Amino acid sequence: MPTPASPSASAPAEPGSPRHSDLVRAARRQPVTRTPVWFMRQAGRSLPEYRAVREGIPMLESCMQPELVTEITLQPVRRHGVDAAIFFSDIVVPLKAIGVDLDIVPGVGPVVAQPIREARDLDRLVDLTADQVPYITEAVRLLVDELGPIPLIGFAGAPFTLASYLVEGGPSKNHVQTKALMHGDPELWDALCAKLAQISGAFLRVQAQAGASAVQLFDSWVGALSRADYVRHVQRHSAAALDAVRHLDVPRIHFGVGTGELLRLMGEAGAEVVGVDYRVSLTDAVARLGPDYAVQGNLDPALLFAPWEALERRVREIVEEGRQAPGHIFNLGHGVLPEVDPDVLTRVTALVHEVSAR
């Protein structure tokens, strides 16, 4: 499996450039002025200004309008003062771009019209190329111009999570069809995941080549697997997706939910930063990962609803735990919930900056 890049592997960055930012430096396990902060699902979700600009526009359509993507991506940066922007899109956008018949149903999530269950179904999955997603390239370039020294994080869904949506036909709690295919027809499973690794890797590469300063591979559902199944059926495909940007001088973040037992394996797939969900302390994560990886996380999103005294105490604990890591990016242990008071996120950002300033 690929190994993480050394802290000195990248070219020197000019002061004031996104590549010199605390976020990129933390990802590369280099000294920072303060712990950088961003929040998964910060682009939208809880912001009234997001709901206003999205009103009447379906999710997938909104992801294909560069000016709208730019505005939504910038909104939390303006409001919260976070240290990075996360590109506003969805993990199924590249699947839609290659012609998969799917939609994002409000209150449900991605729904696939014709699930993939047989070898002939793979014919519907063609390679993704940059000319199929010109709106992504344009949006990234607009954002890089607007953000200046603030880094933009590109992202893609990992092969396992995309495969689960395609096989199940939509979100699933138990991944019954997915696991049945994985074990019942491992050759078909590998062929499916190999195609998805190309699609995910190409989607990351488009964003990085257009100017994103870091990328994150989301594997939302991979925590449903054992270590043995992850190694046997998933790790190499995630590694292939991450390898698509290995030579582009962008740190790679790998995040999954419920992945405490998989952290080291996810790092070994080719990431410089391993995202840690809220179920595992950063102290334990650092012990499992060792010195070769920075960590990201990991405030429980539910604690954003707690009284400030309790929330402040936990934020301070996480910042302190993060000092044990070679690099730490403060984040939630999953995404922002839609009902969160945006002012709380602003206060958390300021608190992290205050208590971590060097």
The pLDDT, as a whole number, for residue 135 is 98
* β 294-299/273-275 pair status: parallel
CATH code of the domain covering residue 40: 3.20.20.210
Residue for token pair 């690099």: 327
Residue type, 99: G
The larger pLDDT score, comparing residue 358 to residue 152, is at 152
Catalytic residue among 50, 165, 230, 293: 165
* Chain segment 302-341, per-residue pLDDT in tens: 999 999 999 999 999 999 999 999 999 999 999 999 999 9
Q: Where are the alpha helices (DSSP H) in the chain?
A: 22-27, 48-54, 59-62, 66-80, 93-97, 134-147, 159-168, 176-184, 186-210, 227-233, 235-243, 263-268, 282-289, 308-322, 342-356
pLDDT digits (tens, 9 = 90+) for 70-114: 999 999 999 999 999 999 999 999 999 999 999 999 889 999 999
Looking at residue 114, its amino acid is Q
Q: Is 90 a catalytic residue?
A: yes
**Do the beta carbons of residue 233 and residue 189 sit within 8 Å?**
yes
Tens of pLDDT, residue by residue over 189-205, are: 999 999 999 999 999 99
Pairing of strands 152-157, 109-112: unpaired
Supply the pLDDT for residue 9: 44
DSSP per position, 102-167:
EEEETTTEEEESS---SGGGGGG-PPP-GGG-HHHHHHHHHHHHHHTTS-EEEEEE-HHHHHHHHH
Instruction: Tell me the three state secondary structure of residue 274.
Output: strand
Q: Clarify whether 41 is annotated catalytic.
A: yes
* Residues contacting residue 317 through CB under 8 Å, at least 6 positions apart: none
Q: Is the peptide bond before 298 cis (omega within 30 degrees of 0)?
A: yes
Cα–Cα dist 242/198, whole Å: 10
Distances (CA, A) of 304 to 269, 279, 310: 32, 16, 9
pLDDT at 4 over 70: no
When divided into structural domains, the chain yields a total of 1
Position 176 pLDDT exceeds 80: yes
Give per-residue pLDDT as tens, 244-287. Answer: 999 999 999 999 999 999 999 999 999 999 999 999 999 999 99
Q: Which of 25, 41, 205, 252 is catalytic?
A: 41
d(CA 62, CA 74): 15
pLDDT of residue 13: 55
Enclosing domain of residue 178: 18-356
pLDDT higher than threshold 90 for residue 5: no
Contact between 159 and 193 (Cβ < 8 Å): yes
Q: What is the Cα–Cα distance from 35 to 106, expressed in whole angstroms? A: 35
Average pLDDT over residues 146-175: 96
Helix axes 282-289, 308-322, angle to 10 degrees: 20
Q: Is residue 235 part of a domain?
A: yes
165 annotated active-site: yes
Give pLDDT, residue 16.
81
* 6 inside domain: no
Residues in the chain: 358
Residue 10 lies in a domain: no
Q: Give domain status of residue 12, yes or no.
A: no
What's at 351, amino acid-wise?
L
Q: How confident is the model at residue 293 (pLDDT cuts 50, 70, 90)?
A: very high
SS3 95: helix
**Which of 28, 45, 79, 252 is labelled catalytic?**
45
> What value does the mean pLDDT of the chain take?
94
**Virtual CA dihedral for 215, 221, 226, 227, nearest 10 degrees?**
0
Which residue is catalytic, options 54, 79, 205, 252?
Answer: 54
State what percent of residues in the chain have pLDDT above 90.
92
Q: Report the C-alpha gap between 236 and 230 in whole angstroms.
A: 9
pLDDT tens profile 39-78: 999 887 789 999 999 999 999 999 999 999 999 999 999 9
Rounded to the nearest 5°, which phi and psi values hold at 218?
-90, 125
54 a catalytic residue = yes
CA distances in angstroms from 35 to 29, 30, 156, 303, 358, listed in the order given: 12, 11, 24, 20, 9
Instruction: Evaluate the CA torsion angle 245, 251, 253, 254 in order and state its sign.
Output: positive
Question: Catalytic: which of 34, 90, 103, 117?
Answer: 90
Kindly state whether residue 36 falls inside one of the protein's structural domains: yes
pLDDT at 98: 97
